[in-house]
Amino acid sequence: MNNLVVKSVDLFGDSVMAAKDKEGNIWAGVSWFCNALGMTKGQKDKQVQNVQTDEILQRGATKLEAGVFDPNNETVALRIDFVPIWLTKININGKTKKENPELADKLLQYQLKAKDILAAAFLPQYAQQPGDMQYTKADIPVGEVARLSTVMDRVMVRQNSKPHDIARAFEMLCGQFGIMLPDNFVNVPEYEQMTLTI
């Protein structure tokens, strides 16, 4: 890729390398995201491999030659519309949560805001506060939103999340893309059935 505009983008106090190509696509360095999230080298290597081999993610992945982000190494980058999908696919196991409890909270912030922050760094029309972005129908890749919500639902069901928590996560996702839902979309039960172990 030639004629790239390269920037270090501040993401909640962490630095992520990103670049805009001549077609207007914005690419984010996968390993920089992993470093910002506090992943180990092994976790980072796994994520770089996942981005290149996953059936959906590889459609939005590319390799940038040495010198673009890293002076000595080529870098795997992901187009920003695939970043939320990738971040949603990251599974945090119980051991990682115990060793790095901040990771889950940080990952959620990245899932919800990273795309907008990266876009704002390169596109003047996004130069608002993240979360205040307003989307038009032309801006929303409906198929990608649907795929992201399917992956999110699958992950939450596997983690035995409560139905109202899944609905709340879906409501947050829709809000991120400017999709309006009814006020009573999330139905929180008045009480929860619990078991007592003796």
Is 156 or 129 the better-scoring residue by pLDDT? Answer: 156
Please tell me the total count of domains within the chain: 2
| Domain encompassing residue 73 | 5-132
Same domain (yes/no): 23, 83: yes
User: Cα separation of 35 and 86, whole Å?
Assistant: 15
On whether residue 159 sits in a domain, the answer given is: yes
Same domain (yes/no): 41, 100: yes
Q: Could you report the per-residue pLDDT of 137-168, keeping only the tens digit for each?
A: 445 556 667 777 787 778 778 778 888 788 88
User: Cα separation of 8 and 15, whole Å?
Assistant: 6
**Long-range contacts (CB closer than 8 Å, 24 or more residues apart) made by 48-54:** 48/76, 50/86, 50/89, 51/76, 51/78, 51/86, 52/76, 54/86, 54/89
Average of per-residue pLDDT values in the chain: 81
pLDDT tops 60 at residue 41: yes
Same domain (yes/no): 57, 110: yes
- H/E element holding 62? strand 61-64
Same domain (yes/no): 31, 115: yes
Residue 92 neighbours by CB under 8 Å, 6+ apart = 103, 104, 107
Same domain (yes/no): 138, 66: no
Same domain (yes/no): 86, 127: yes
User: Cα separation of 76 and 72, whole Å?
Assistant: 13
Same domain (yes/no): 64, 140: no
On whether residue 58 sits in a domain, the answer given is: yes
The CA-based angle 181-182-185, given to 5 degrees, is 90
pTM: 0.61
Same domain (yes/no): 124, 167: no
Same domain (yes/no): 76, 162: no
Residue pointed to by tokens 């899944």: 166
Same domain (yes/no): 143, 59: no
On whether residue 189 sits in a domain, the answer given is: no
On whether residue 194 sits in a domain, the answer given is: no
Q: Could you report the per-residue pLDDT of 177-198, keeping only the tens digit for each?
A: 667 778 787 777 776 666 666 6
Is 132 or 20 the better-scoring residue by pLDDT? Answer: 20
Residue 126 neighbours by CB under 8 Å, 6+ apart = 116, 119, 120, 133
Same domain (yes/no): 142, 157: yes
Same domain (yes/no): 22, 87: yes
